[in-house]
């Protein structure tokens, strides 16, 4: 009771709610609440500090990305002593992939704390991962490396980092397919063609040919996504040949 009363006496109610929310997510008490507030501040708010520098989560995101990479690298280095540099790099990429970070941010419900002038429904998927990394950056500034490592262990490594599962997880079907084509000395080509769909949002249509054979077609909201989608379809069509090379 004393602790709760101290929190609400030292911060307005809004700060008190934010403090309790952060404490629940972090698993420990934040010391400097303002650092964590900045981790959820979108650039659209256009806030500046006393020196006129922009205040938003992007710098903390940069720091959090570096801390996450370092701590995941340390874990993999210790857990897989036989892994060479290429193996460790590939495994780390699977853990810190944008898709995975977005899932982590969603699981923690971080979007509810974002302060923005843009409606939250207008944000892309990456906002979840961006804010997750910014939160890690805030932890590092507020509490240091050990608390940062503890948070990543509890929220990322323990629930999600299974070495055997990661070894079988494909990050990019396009990269996998290109690597196979190069080894087999096969030509490949991704061609954007006219999209006749009637979606309100613009779509891109892509054909993937390997050698002279049309392997797959796909549509998506970006050329990159369409290429990845076509690559995935082609991969499963060629799976036995690729896996038994």
Write down the catalytic residue from 65, 149, 227, 228: 65
> Among the options 61, 133, 142, 227, which is catalytic?
133
With tokens 């609400």, the residue in question is 8
Please say if 65 is a catalytic residue.
yes
Integer Cα distance of 223 and 138 in angstroms:
34
**What per-residue string of b and e applies to 219-237 under the rule 16 or more CB within 10 Å gives b?**
bbeeeeebbbbbbbebbee
List, in order, residues 6 or more apart from 209 with CB less than 8 Å away.
188, 189, 191, 215
109 Cβ contact partners less than 8 Å away, ≥ 6 residues apart: none
Catalytic residue flag (residue 133): yes
Question: What positions carry a catalytic annotation?
Answer: 65, 133
């Amino acid at each position: 009771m004393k602790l709760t009363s101290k929190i609400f006496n030292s911060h307005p109610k809004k700060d008190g709610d934010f403090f309790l929310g952060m404490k629940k997510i972090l698993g420990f008490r934040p010391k400097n609440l303002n650092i964590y507030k900045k981790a959820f501040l979108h650039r659209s708010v256009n806030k500046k500090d006393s020196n006129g520098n922009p205040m938003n989560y992007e710098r903390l995101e940069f720091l959090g990305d570096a801390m996450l990479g370092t701590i995941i690298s340390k874990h993999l280095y210790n857990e897989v002593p036989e892994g060479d540099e290429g193996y460790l790099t590939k495994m780390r990429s699977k853990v810190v992939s944008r898709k995975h970070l977005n899932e982590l941010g969603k699981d923690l419900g971080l979007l509810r704390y974002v302060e923005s002038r843009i409606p939250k429904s207008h944000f892309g998927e990456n906002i979840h991962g961006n804010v997750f990394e910014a939160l890690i950056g805030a932890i590092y500034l507020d509490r240091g490396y050990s608390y940062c490592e503890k948070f990543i262990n509890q929220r990322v490594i323990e629930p999600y980092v299974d070495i055997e599962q990661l070894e079988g997880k494909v990050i990019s079907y396009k990269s996998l397919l290109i690597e196979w084509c190069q080894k087999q000395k096969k030509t490949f080509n991704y061609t954007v063609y006219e999209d006749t769909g009637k979606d309100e949002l613009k779509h891109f249509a892509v054909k993937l040919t390997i050698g002279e054979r049309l392997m797959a077609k796909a549509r998506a909201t970006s050329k990159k996504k369409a290429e990845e989608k076509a690559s995935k379809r082609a991969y499963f069509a060629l799976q036995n040949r690729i896996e038994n090379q």
